[in-house]
Each structure stands twice: as structure tokens, then as C-alpha cells.
Structure 1
């Protein structure tokens, strides 16, 4: 739909170091890549909380781009389940869920849904590229590390 964005997010978390990384891929209604972002975080709680942070980061970017219809996809089923029951339960990521809900008010339409890792390959690959030495990067063109995946997705779609 014209004026809409599809955003795939992914996150990683190291139990040993308590550090994590997030990534998001933002596509417009014609599946053109608008923005790719990855970011390193010194502290995290767990993989689900890092995935929630990835969602928050992606909504901030989407709002800056001025789009009104946003569909966020994550491969973290636990996050989607907590989102869908956010009014009926308490979890360690309640504050993140509230922030996501607040950010979602900037859009006419918003959804958060589950996508298998197979459908989330580009975001997953970017998140694996983040490190302490490469803490944050934003691309407006397709980075070489995911170029083949992007071409494959475009030809399949």
C-alpha cells in the first residue's frame, strides 16, 4: 500500500557479556530498501528485550521518514506474544512495550507480527555484523554483506 513501510528487525544477545546488537531493514510499499540500521548495546537483559529495543529503534526511524502505515516483523515469537497480551500481564519488558505503544501512535496504522528467521535473513545477517568496534551504522544503499540476500528477496517477491 502506498505510504506504507515494512520493517524487519532482529537482535542478538550474549548471556556471558550481557551485550547485544540490533538491526532493522526498512522497505517502502514497492519493496525498495529505504534504510538499514545496526547498533551495538553495551548492556541488555536478554534476547527478547534486545528485540524490543530493535522494534523501538525502527519505529523512531520510520517516524523520521514520515510514513503513516508501518508493519514491523520480528523472529521473536515471545515478543509478539507479550505485545498481544500487554494489557493482561507483567513482564521484564513492560516498559519497552509501553514505549513501542507510544511510538506507534505516530502512525495511522501499526502492526507487530512474527516472521520466521527464513523471512528475516537480511536483518539477521546485519545484526551479526555489529560489534564493539562497529557500534552503529546506517545505510541508504544496500551493504555488500547482504547484497545477495536482497537480490534474492527482490526476485522472489
Structure 2
């Protein structure tokens, strides 16, 4: 059962992991309410991806899907990949990731407000851990009941900083 977001904006942090040796990747996303409390998280293993940049754009798409799934209407989506953020924020994009870009544009139109912004890597450690875990386990997961054990300490540390 998804925890209903509070009336404020939801913040979703996303990140990707990429293995150039076997061209696989993974994404991680964590959603928090306007107080910083955990709402949900998701990971997705990608069996074939062409580059780290492509994986980062997929992470943004998966963050938008998480936001839709939890019933969020207004969100801030943060990624530590300035390249992926720049791609998504362009009016027109015709690069290698064009299909993912178009899907993100379509998904974003279903929200009242979406901001896709860059954050520093240090502020994205939870999403990074989720993506790395998905890559190493080659699995996709959803957590909606509670914080997964492998990121619980990072969640607590993030709240202490806020």
C-alpha cells in the first residue's frame, strides 16, 4: 500500500549504475514527502543499455513513473547527472536517447508541476545505493511498506542533515 504524499511537493532522487563490460545498467529512485520522510523507492535492472548517459536518462523516466504510481501531482526530480538533466530540460532533443526523452516529456505532461534539477552526488547517495544494488543483484524491486535495510542508515543520515 503506497503512503499517500502530503499536500506539499514530493521530491524524487534518481540515479543510475552502468557496467561497460557487459552493457547492463540499473536505476534507483527514492520518493520523499515535503518533510523528507520516505514514501517509496524502486529499482530497475536494465539488461542492455548503450551508455551511462542513456542509463541516467532512463533513471529520470523511472523517477517519473514512480511519481505517477504513488499519486503525486507536483514534484521535484533530482539527478546528479547534469547531462541527463540538460537533455530532459531541452525543448527539442534529437540525440541517441530521443525515445526516452520523448517518453519523459509525455510522462511529465501528466503532472501539475515538474522540475528536473541537478543535485550534487553527495545529496544523491540513497538513489545511488539503490541503483548499485539493482546492478549487482540484477533485479528490479519496489519498496512501499518501509525503507529497505541496505539504505536505512542513509535515509536516517539524510534526515539528520535536513
TM-score of the two chains, using structure 1 as the length reference: 0.92
- Please say if 1:94 is aligned against 2:107: no
**Correspondence 1:37-56 to 2 at 5 A:** 37-56=42-61
Q: Is 1:122 paired with 2:126?
A: yes
1:90 shift after superposition: 2.3
Q: May I ask how many residue pairs the two structures share in their alignment?
A: 156
Question: What's the CA shift for 1:133?
Answer: 4.3
Report the counterpart of residue 155 of structure 1 in structure 2. 160
In the TM superposition, residue 8 of structure 1 has moved relative to its aligned partner by: 0.3
Query: Structure 1's 132 and 117: CA in aligned 2 closer, same or farther, altered over 3 A?
Result: closer
Runs of 4 or more above 4 Å deviation:
none
Q: Distance in 2 between matches of 1:132 and 1:123?
A: 14
Q: Which runs of 5+ in 1 are unaligned?
A: none
Contact 1:21 1:39 in 2 (8 A): yes
What is the Cα-based RMSD across aligned positions, in Å? 1.6
